[in-house]
Amino acid sequence: MAKWVKAKRLSVFTSNPYSGNPAWVVMGAEGIKDEDLKMLANDLNPVSDTAFVLPEQTHEADIYLRFFTGTGEINFSGHASIAVYFALSGENILELKEPETTIRQRTKAGIQIVDLRVKDNKITRATMTLAKPNYLDIEVNPVQLARILGISQHDLLATNLPFDIISTGYYDLIVPIKSLEIMKSIKPDFTFMNNFCVRLGIHGIIVFCMETFEPGDTVFMRHFAPVVGINEDPISGAAAGSVGCYLIRKNLIEPSNFSRIIVEQGYLQNRQGKVYVHIECSRDQIYRVKVGGNAVLTFTGYILTP
């Protein structure tokens, strides 16, 4: 039976409305069939992720989240998770304590710890712990990859750094690029890329460079994920976490007990945003990866369920 449920739209990983990555958060959708959740997600946000906040029925967590894109359910979404906590301000669903509240969220990817900075009963930053990094050792053909990205083999290999496949939630191929100029020139063949990613069993391709648009930031990144129906994600929290692991692993930044990395994304799509990546290491072992950011509410209202 159709019912009205509350929905909020947020711009995530930014403090500016309509920048960053858009996400919808829907509350009160319990009892709705999966195919209808997918239909709602597609109608609200065909190019990115929608989070559904559902009652947590175990004692393992404080909140249960499910994520859908227009093509179906995904196990986890970093930016939609961040959106949830800013959307829940004023909803009396979570008890907030200043200056910091720790939440356990359950998703299809398991349980994540989320730290919320709280001031005047409002959330000012949400930071979540991702899965420890996992790596795949797969040989990638540079001739093929250059064709997929629409750049020359010379530009692809200009850094002399290796490719890597890393997961802090999803496996992505990470490709270091020499300059912002080359980053701007990338024009992917998404059909070719989709087939390539399916064959390797990965989620997408991340390209990054150490040149940034703003001084003080660490890297600029682009993330392509046609496998899940998102040709280019404006900003992706889990992908930023994987890039942070790459930087530590390849000694591109000095590893320390606590490394703070600022990842820019979305600047070529007019959706500028930043992900704050925190990586905790012991010697050369990464034992904790966190990503955080802000979000801005741009719509609140009610939608009719199918």
- What type of residue sits at position 212? T
Write the pLDDT tens digit of every residue in 157-192: 999 999 999 999 889 999 999 999 999 999 999 999
- Burial (0-12, 13-18, 19+ Cβ within 10 Å), 283: exposed
Evaluate whether 171 touches 144 at the Cβ level (below 8 Å): no
Evaluate whether 184 touches 217 at the Cβ level (below 8 Å): no
Q: Which residues contact 255 (CB under 8 A, 6 or more apart)?
A: 248, 279, 281, 284
What is 4-129+294-304's CATH number? 3.10.310.10
What architecture is domain 134-292? Roll (3.10)
Global confidence as pTM: 0.88
User: CA 198 to CA 189: how far, in whole Å?
Assistant: 14
* Domain 4-129+294-304 shares a fold with domain 134-292: yes
Write the pLDDT tens digit of every residue in 253-303: 877 766 889 999 999 999 999 999 999 988 778 989 999 999 999 999 999
Q: Which residues contact 263 (CB under 8 A, 6 or more apart)?
A: 208, 217, 218, 219, 220, 221, 240, 243, 244, 274, 275, 277
Which residue matches tokens 């409305």?
Answer: 17
Identify the DSSP state of 228: G
Per-domain residue ranges for the chain? 4-129+294-304, 134-292
Using DSSP, state whether 182 is helix, strand or coil: helix
